[in-house]
Amino acid sequence: MAFEDPTVPKRPWEQRLHEAGSRVEEDLRRFVAYLNDEIVPDVRRNGSEALRSAAAELNRLAQRMDDRTAKTPPPPPPPGEPKF
């Protein structure tokens, strides 16, 4: 059983839930403001550079896949399958 301070008046659970909801709403407002003020402008400034870097990495990966495919012979057909 949790310790209850006798000097603090007891409030119904609905009031506590309402206060918690209010705190969550305020935290969410601050978080959205932070995203809009700090994160979004930075992403807009550096987003195209990040996309170009990702595209270059994907291009290198595709080239390695092509190189590996060209080096390995195709697998033999399964047994019992007619050859053309």
pLDDT at 6: 61
Unique residue bearing structure tokens 């987003």: 47
The pLDDT tens digits for 35-57 are: 999 999 988 888 888 889 999 99
Parse the chain into domains and list their residue ranges: 14-70
pLDDT at 12: 85
**In the structure encoding, which two tokens stand for residue 11, read together?**
């409030």
pLDDT at 82: 67
pLDDT at 74: 73
* pLDDT-flagged residues of the chain (< 50): 1
> Do residues 63 and 71 lie in contact, with contact meaning Cβ atoms separated by under 8 Å?
no
Going by C-alpha positions, the residue among 57, 77, 53 that lies closest to residue 65 is 57
